Structure 1
């Protein structure tokens, strides 16, 4: 089956947290025989900051950030058996959705794939006339990369025919154990761009423990932090390209996951970085969110903190040997249960059933 996928970017992870998700899942689907074309706009300097070349397993079409170019690529939806419009494309999302739905052929499976369900649902609740909300009746299926029952119930309540989570996972071809690198040496490392929905939690779970442990080295990666006041034991290294993620995760004693507030509130929303870090054998410390045990076992495969004091206490009592053991258990778990090959099996089963239903309905 042919998939036309309209998303933010497959080629660049620059200000694009969904890149790893897209790459892992679409590669796994391609290995199952899907013919995939990914359409991404040239916006936010992403094409200037590519971190992969166009892959063999997926055709990538980069279009200019103009209405004319958008309409041109949307017209290609008519050639696909499955048409996917993702959230957060970054250029005229509402218009792109309308154009893609307009061009999708009769009988094609039409999917809205939400990679930030809490943010999208907040918009839909506040605006009954939101274009996506009004279009849900024309969409066959909503897929999300997290959220669990709260997100599923919310989408159904807003009129979606159905909603199914396809969770983040590990792409073991790109994220795996590597040798440690001295530049990433630290007691605790955190990688994440500065976002308003997460900044207060970064202050609580990362900056505060750093002030409590002044003799320990903390490593901060990600964009947007250059003007943030930081204690002297925090080293900010800016944007970390995907090629360096394995070493960033494998080198420190522990790696911190901090959910955005909306993700933590909804639960069942492990960030992509959870699986990236586990795939590199990192010892993960995460802020608490409902549903953690579905993915990793607290206390054995992942450490859970409810505030900054917990983070400081966990670090203070954690030896390098203990950290390595936790990381190895996490690696084993994700390789067995949480790879994109696992997720592709789920997606493939959904596509085949729903495509048959969509075809029969026409």
Structure 2
């Protein structure tokens, strides 16, 4: 197939999780024999922070404006078998209208921020999508699965809302033989809704276990947070440093945004990446998690600092390693970028042949 993807960014992972997803997806689509063009709006905050300015897979082109996009790439969009517009694309409404009126193949919206998108639509914030655009996309691809997909079809008129979760790249995320530096680590940018859960599941445990070693990596944490003395802080970790960070922990913590918890079925890329490293995960609980990993066998669920401490102090080393390897096996079997590329291909072929994907 000839595929055009208009996404937030593939050249820069600075301040966004979109680039990692697009890099894995495009690479695997190309490996499957498809011709992929990725179109990215050239904006200054990514231009000065490009960690992959020339992706070595497919073709990446930058455009300076909506007019520039239309002038240079109308023919590419018109003859493509599949055109995908991502969430948070600048002027996404105008881009979506243009794609729907130009594309002759399958058109799809890829929502990497589904609960956020639905909340924006509910308050009439049409930054990159409007209710009127949704029925015009033949596919609504979503980072969130479960009942949310039925709602997108029933209430918003999507012809076919389907899950296309984030994934892990096993070429980058794999076990490393390292002596653990920390008993429990967490990687994530600060957010108001996640912090109470981080406090409950990690910081309370750190205060209770003074000889335990903990670490929190990520930017934008307020200066007035009172970190326990046994909690180390790392302000920023670039994506190439993530595998070593995970592999330096005995356990890693997964904390989910409140809107993702409410929607359910919304795994974060950190969940799959940590599992791919073979590091056992302690996670908060939300609907749909048990469809991705088997609780108690592939992942631990914690509701309190006390439960977290029980895992950290009472799980044997052999059980800990076995848990990590089982989670890694699940990711390799179901949650890699190669799986997502194959799924997208199947969806697109079904729609183009007039079937429900």
- TM-score, normalised to structure 1, is 0.89
Aligned to 1:254: 251
Aligned to 2:98: 99
- Superposed displacement of residue 153, structure 1: 2.5
Give RMSD over aligned pairs: 2.4
Query: Is the CA contact 2:99–2:107 (under 8 Å) kept in the aligned structure 1?
Result: no
Distance 1:250 1:73, change over 3 A: farther
Distance 1:343 1:238, change over 3 A: same
Matched, 1:310 2:307: yes
Aligned to 1:288: 285
Stretches of structure 1 that go unaligned for 5 or more consecutive residues are none
Cα distance in 2 for residues equivalent to 1:155 and 1:202: 34
- Superposed displacement of residue 226, structure 1: 5.7
Query: Is the CA contact 1:39–1:60 (under 8 Å) kept in the aligned structure 2?
Result: yes
Cα distance in 2 for residues equivalent to 1:151 and 1:211: 41
Distance 1:6 1:155, change over 3 A: same
Aligned to 2:31: 31
Pick which of 164-173 and 224-233 moved more: 224-233
How many pairs were matched up? 352
Pick which of 46-55 and 69-78 moved more: 69-78
Aligned to 2:165: 167
Aligned to 2:106: 109
Q: 2:216 aligns with which of 214, 220, 225?
A: 220
Cα distance in 2 for residues equivalent to 1:87 and 1:265: 20
Aligned to 2:16: 16
Aligned to 1:135: 133
- Superposed displacement of residue 207, structure 1: 2.8
Q: How does 1:115-194 map to 2 (within 5 A)?
A: 115-127=112-124, 131-180=129-178, 185-194=181-190
Aligned to 2:197: 201
Aligned to 1:48: 48
Cα distance in 2 for residues equivalent to 1:222 and 1:41: 26
Cα distance in 1 for residues equivalent to 2:313 and 2:259: 29
Cα distance in 2 for residues equivalent to 1:285 and 1:40: 36
Distance 1:71 1:213, change over 3 A: farther
Give SS of 2:60's match.
Answer: strand
Give SS of 1:253's match.
Answer: strand
Aligned to 1:80: 80
Give SS of 1:169's match.
Answer: coil
Pick which of 341-350 and 225-234 moved more: 225-234
Query: Is the CA contact 1:111–1:140 (under 8 Å) kept in the aligned structure 2?
Result: yes
Q: 1:353 aligns with which of 344, 350, 355?
A: 350
Query: Is the CA contact 2:207–2:228 (under 8 Å) kept in the aligned structure 1?
Result: yes
Give SS of 2:40's match.
Answer: strand
Distance 1:161 1:11, change over 3 A: same
Stretches of structure 2 that go unaligned for 5 or more consecutive residues are none
Give SS of 2:117's match.
Answer: helix
Query: Is the CA contact 1:208–1:308 (under 8 Å) kept in the aligned structure 2?
Result: yes
- TM-score, normalised to structure 2, is 0.90
- Superposed displacement of residue 125, structure 1: 2.4
Query: Is the CA contact 2:10–2:19 (under 8 Å) kept in the aligned structure 1?
Result: yes
Distance 1:228 1:324, change over 3 A: farther
Distance 1:117 1:50, change over 3 A: same
Give SS of 1:5's match.
Answer: strand
Distance 1:129 1:50, change over 3 A: closer
Cα distance in 2 for residues equivalent to 1:136 and 1:338: 27
Q: How does 1:261-280 map to 2 (within 5 A)?
A: 261-280=258-277
